[in-house]
Amino acid sequence: MTKRVSLSDEAYEVLRRHKLGTESYSDAVLRLARKGGRLSEVIGLHPELRGKTGFARSVRENRRRIDARLGAR
């Protein structure tokens, strides 16, 4: 089964840059998601966010909430 997903232009460009040569977009998403998506990697993609501890704290808190919801299933 396939699903259609909408991405902003910026998100599409980030995914396109991280997609390997012969890899499908689905394969790229799975590979990147399995890496764990560390916050340092996200901030590395957007240098203007470096040093924004409020942003980092917010991301960590939201990640904990999401993990807790998923664990409750």
Q: What is the pTM assigned to this prediction?
A: 0.46
Tell me: the pLDDT tens digits for 6-24? Answer: 888 888 888 888 888 899 9
User: What is d(CA 19, CA 68) in angstroms, rounded to the nearest whole number?
Assistant: 30
User: What is d(CA 41, CA 57) in angstroms, rounded to the nearest whole number?
Assistant: 15
Helix ranges, the chain (H): 9-18, 25-34, 39-45, 53-71
Classify 17 as helix, strand or coil. Answer: helix
Mean per-residue pLDDT of the chain: 76
Pick 73 or 26 by higher pLDDT: 26
Q: What is the mean pLDDT of residues 21-32?
A: 87
Contact 42, 25 (CB under 8 A): no
Q: Which residue has the tokens 């807790």?
A: 68
